[in-house]
Amino acid sequence: MAYDAFLLLSFGGPEHPDDVMPFLRNVTRGRGVPEERLTEVAEHYMHFGGVSPINQQCRDLLAAVQADFAGNGVALPAYWGNRNWGPMLADTVAQMRDDGVTSALGFATSAYGGYSSCKQYWEDISQARAKVGPGAPAITKLRQFHDHPGFVQPHTDAVAAALAKLDPSRRESTRVVFTAHSIPSSMAATAGPTGGRYEAQLHETAALVHAAAAPDLPWDLVWQSRSGPPQVPWLEPDINDHLRILAEKGVTDVVVSPIGFVSDHLEVIWDLDNEAKETAADLGLGYARADTPGTDPRFVAMIRELVLERTEGVSREKLGTLPVWDVCPADCCPPPRRPSHS
Ligand SMILES: CC1=C(CCC(=O)O)c2cc3nc(cc4[nH]c(cc5[nH]c(cc1n2)c(C)c5CCC(=O)O)c(CCC(=O)O)c4C)C(CCC(=O)O)=C3C
Ligand SMILES: [Fe+2]
């Protein structure tokens, strides 16, 4: 299969205060997320002037990928389209068609399997192509990369760097807390062809980072940024509840590593750098948040390697033992059933 373009796929975020509510309505349309939750999340965005950092992070990543491709002889033009805010994927796909692109490789800014993090990007692609209609390029998605060294190593270095900011005399009572976006329990149960894939991959990534960065310390995998109606179960514990339990157990310091994410977008800079940090301060816990990969050159090189796996048959780099595949089974990761009222 010959490909003639690279496509960065991401979530999108507001870049102006007037964008915030329309963006949130795009994200939650038909999802049964209560109005109070939207108002609350809008305030998080307003705290940063109504600007999410995620779009600029995508521009930076795209520029880094273009430079890496150019420096390594990968002659693919690079495009970028989002699920929830401009540049919207359908507009990008229309541009690709106008430019004569026939077949593109998509890289989504999410390492893991599951509906929101993987399958929904496939849906975004097919909806965008349907909207563009005849002449829309074929688009496939690159594989999940939760255990690729280009993802694991930047997280590992970041955990080590965060640990170095804490008091070494309290290392024996320090703990590494890995965190990822919570999802509805039903979505977690149906992630991947045999279920549980989102949690299993996160567990594997956390174990790999822990083993390389701080094997002497205890660690946990917990969840953040819960959405949805309160009566619908989501993955628990929430990081804030977990910090309270750790403090009661005598833990004095925590390194918080957002392994669920590839960049320091709003879920990281609000939910961790404001909320969880404040929780830790209230509990008297030392707190250091580890960076996400962002534009780490190893992460950027990983994106090229994922492309070359498809175009040149370059062998797969992987540190874990969970299976990977290029294209998921069609019936994998069904969209969650939504509450009929909203
Ligand atoms: C698994 C997962 C990832 C990680 C994988 C990936 O990265 O793709 C992720 C990332 C992100 N989530 C983000 C923002 C939001 N997520 C929401 C709501 C939801 N997330 C969900 C899941 C995930 N979300 C789910 C199941 C919902 C409920 C609604 C639904 O069923 O779809 C809402 C609605 C309001 C609320 O929080 O309730 C917002 C604003 C941003 C952008 C941050 C920025 O602007 O910088 C990013 C990168
Ligand atoms: Fe989300």
Least confident of 124-128, 186-190, 324-328, 338-342: 338-342
pLDDT for residue 244 is more than 90? yes
- pLDDT confidence of residue 341: 47
The yes-or-no answer to whether 5-145+296-311 and 149-289 have a common fold is yes
pLDDT of residue 52: 98
Is the pLDDT confidence value at 301 over 80? yes
3-class secondary-structure state, position 116: helix
- What average pLDDT does the segment 155-164 reach? 98
How close is the Cα of 164 to the center of ligand 1, in Å?
A: 31
Q: Residue 133's pLDDT is what?
A: 98
Q: Ligand 1: residues within 6 Å at CB?
A: 11, 13, 24, 27-28, 31, 33, 37, 41, 52-54, 109-110, 116-117, 181, 183, 225, 227-228, 260, 265-267
Is this structure's pTM higher than 0.90? yes
The C-alpha angle 316, 319, 322, rounded to 5 degrees, equals 85
Q: Domain locations in the chain?
A: 5-145+296-311, 149-289
Q: Note whether 61 and 300 are within 8 A (CB).
A: yes
State the Cα–Cα distance between residues 222 and 239, nearest whole angstrom: 6
**Which class does domain 149-289 fall in?**
alpha beta
Predicted confidence at residue 337, as pLDDT, reads 77
* 275 known ligand binder: no
Flag whether 115 is marked binding: no
Return d(Cα 40, Cα 299) in angstroms, integer.
Answer: 33
Pocket test for ligand 1, best of 19, 21, 27 (most atoms within 8 A of CB): 27
**121 annotated as a binding-site residue:** yes
Contacts of 106 (CB under 8 A, 6+ apart): 7, 8, 9, 121, 125, 139, 140, 141, 142
Average pLDDT over residues 294-311: 98
Q: Listing from the earlier edge strand, what are the strands of the sheet with 78-82?
A: 78-82, 5-10, 103-108, 138-141
For residue 181, say whether it is annotated as part of any ligand binding site.
Answer: yes
Average pLDDT rounded to a whole number, residues 286-315? 97
- pLDDT score of 325: 79
Q: What are the residues whose beta carbons fall under 8 Å from the beta carbon of 70, sequence distance 6 or more?
A: none
What is the tens place of the pLDDT at every residue in 60-100?
999 999 999 999 999 999 999 999 999 999 999 999 999 99
CB 112, CB 145: distance < 8 Å: no
Most distant CA pair in the chain: distance in Å? Answer: 65
pLDDT at 115 over 90: yes
> Which atom in ligand 1 lies closest to the alpha carbon of residue 11?
48
So what's the pLDDT on residue 342? 42
DSSP state of 45: H
Mean pLDDT of 137-146: 98
State the virtual CA torsion across 107, 110, 112, 115 in degrees, nearest 10. -90
pLDDT band for 336, please (50, 70, 90 cuts).
Answer: confident
Q: For residue 309, what pLDDT band results from cuts at 50, 70 and 90?
A: very high
pLDDT per position as a tens digit, 315-324: 999 999 999 8
Neighbours of 260 (CB within 10 A): 28
Q: 3-state DSSP helix/strand/coil percent for the chain, to nearest 5?
A: 45, 15, 40
pLDDT tens-digit readout, 19-59:
999 999 999 999 989 999 999 999 999 999 999 999 999 99
What's the pLDDT at 159?
99
Q: Please tell me the predicted confidence (pLDDT) of residue 329.
A: 87
Inter-CA distances, 14 with 33, 36, 87, 155, 196, Å: 18, 19, 11, 26, 31
- Token pair of 128 as six digits: 């965008």
pLDDT tens track for 270-284: 999 999 999 999 999
ipTM: 0.95
Point out the ligand 1 atom lying closest to the alpha carbon of residue 262.
Answer: 7
**294 vs 8: CA distance, rounded Å:** 14
- Domain 5-145+296-311 class in CATH: alpha beta
Q: What rounded mean pLDDT belongs to the chain?
A: 96
Per-residue model confidence as pLDDT tens digits over 186-218: 999 999 999 999 999 999 999 999 999 999 999
